[in-house]
Homo-oligomer: A and B are copies of this chain.
Amino acid sequence: MHQTPERDLRKFEKSLPIALLRTREATTRLFKPFIDLHDLTMPQWRVLRALAEADALDARTLSERCVILPPSLTRIFRAMTLRGLIRQVECADARRHMVAITDTGRALFEQVLQESEPDYTRLAAAFGPERLDMLLDLLNELRDTAQGLVDQSQQQDTRKVMPGRR
């Protein structure tokens, strides 16, 4: 009936979504103080970071890229616009809410990056920079793979629900 506790834990650690959650929690705990310092929430920080590296993005793209549902994004746009961190920009398709980072927003982004850099460097040094890079590559590739399987399943569902579509 008994297994060793060590073996139990090892099995638990082989659960992919749980491992991703726990690792995110640990790394976030390291960097969140720098976000808190400037009264940003983590989702707001993701939006700021996404916009800092693009000229302008629409709500849909930000929603997917930052893992934020549209209703939350609406509130975040409002809060960040009020603080002057982002601004709405014109778009040929008037349905789209397109935003860009402001100078204020960029200054804040770069300040947070600068302040957190020592801790990032410490983490990279302790873990090994090349292993960190390998991990990031694996993460992004697994995301694409999982996304592909989800899309595949949804196509099958659509075919089942609407067989007349073809």
Size bracket of the A interface = 35 or more
A16 and B23 CA atoms in complex are apart in Å by: 10
Q: Contact between B140 and A127 (Cβ–Cβ < 8 Å)?
A: no
Q: Determine how close the nearest CB of chain B comes to the CB of A149; give it in whole angstroms.
A: 6
Q: Determine how close the nearest CB of chain B comes to the CB of A161; give it in whole angstroms.
A: 15
Answer whether residue A75 sits at the interface, using C-beta atoms and an 8 A cutoff.
Answer: no
Chain A window 115-148, contacts with chain B (Cβ cutoff 8 Å), 1 for yes, 0 for no: 0000100110011000110111011111101111
Q: Determine how close the nearest CB of chain B comes to the CB of A132; give it in whole angstroms.
A: 8
One complex includes copies of this chain to the number of: 2
Q: Contact between A22 and B67 (Cβ–Cβ < 8 Å)?
A: yes
Binds B, one of A47-55, A77-85, A86-94, A97-105: A47-55
Q: Contact between A27 and B146 (Cβ–Cβ < 8 Å)?
A: yes
6 tightest A-B CB contacts, nearest first: A20-B24, A26-B146, A8-B53, A23-B143, A19-B139, A135-B138
Question: Told that A22-B65, A26-B143 touch, could you supply 17 new A-B pairs with CB distance under 8 A?
Answer: A8-B53, A8-B54, A11-B53, A15-B49, A16-B27, A19-B136, A19-B139, A20-B139, A22-B139, A23-B139, A23-B143, A27-B146, A30-B146, A119-B149, A122-B149, A127-B142, A132-B142
